[in-house]
């Protein structure tokens, strides 16, 4: 703090940079602003930050999937809903390094019935085969014109493929080649369904690749 007289400034009461000036007892006084930050996070806070970081990154990699799979969940964005839903799928070690259990990860959530889809991989021709079974209608939970989707996610490259399958009321197969550069041993697969207008969604199912 410093006292000064200034004919130019008069009774100064302004801030300039990190200096604040005031007029007290007929004197101009200049005081330096004090910037301090108290940040001593607990292990629990560090663990939570690690979970948030890895899930936010995942939500960006899966954005086209997340936008379809988390419609109408809460008042936030679909990405926020994805992060919130998948907190339990992330473990954190003693060094606060987060690891995602992709078999537990949800790429969609909702009250509709999940579709009946299976998946096989042919190493001979590097193709995936989604096989879909027809489902009977159930009012409000499973409609014949519901749209069914498959999802492939390469966990090393952090790349995703959203695959449009058939309507819920149809059965059949859909072939998809292994995307260039992907390691099939690092691929996780999921399926989910939405209403035709996309406003209602089912929970996603993790698919065992046979």
Chain position carrying tokens 């839903």: 85
Regarding predicted confidence, which is higher, 139 or 30? 139
Regarding predicted confidence, which is higher, 1 or 125? 125
Q: How much of the chain exceeds pLDDT 90, in percent? A: 75
Q: What is the mean pLDDT of the chain?
A: 88
Question: pTM of the predicted model, to two decimals?
Answer: 0.79
User: Distance between CA atoms of 133 and 115, rounded to whole angstroms?
Assistant: 8
Give the neighbor-by-neighbor strand order of the sheet with 19-24.
Answer: 2-4, 27-32, 19-24, 15-16
Supply the DSSP string of 50-71, one letter for each residue: HHHHHHHHHHHHTHHHHHHHTT
Residue 9 predicted with pLDDT over 70 = no
Kindly indicate the confidence band of residue 140, based on its pLDDT and cuts at 50, 70 and 90: confident
Residue 7 predicted with pLDDT over 50 = no
């Amino acid at each position: 703090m410093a006292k000064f007289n200034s004919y130019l400034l008069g009774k100064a009461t302004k801030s300039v940079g990190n200096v604040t000036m005031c007029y007290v007892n007929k004197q101009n006084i200049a005081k330096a602003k004090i910037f301090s930050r108290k940040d001593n996070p607990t292990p629990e806070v560090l663990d939570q930050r690690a979970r948030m970081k890895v899930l936010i990154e995942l939500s960006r990699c899966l954005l086209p999937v997340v936008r379809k799979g988390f419609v109408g969940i809460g008042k936030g964005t679909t990405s926020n809903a994805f992060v919130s839903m998948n907190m339990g799928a992330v473990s954190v070690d003693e060094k606060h390094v987060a690891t995602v259990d992709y078999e537990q990860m949800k790429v969609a959530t909702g009250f509709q019935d999940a579709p009946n889809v299976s998946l096989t991989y042919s190493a001979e021709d590097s193709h995936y085969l989604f096989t879909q079974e027809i489902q009977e209608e159930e009012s409000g939970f499973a409609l014949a014109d519901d749209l069914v989707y498959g999802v492939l996610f390469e966990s090393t490259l952090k790349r995703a493929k959203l695959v449009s399958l058939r309507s819920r009321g149809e059965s059949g197969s859909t072939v998809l080649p292994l995307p260039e550069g992907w390691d099939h041993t690092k691929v996780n697969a999921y399926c989910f369904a939405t209403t035709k207008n996309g406003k209602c969604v089912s929970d996603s199912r993790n698919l065992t690749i046979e």
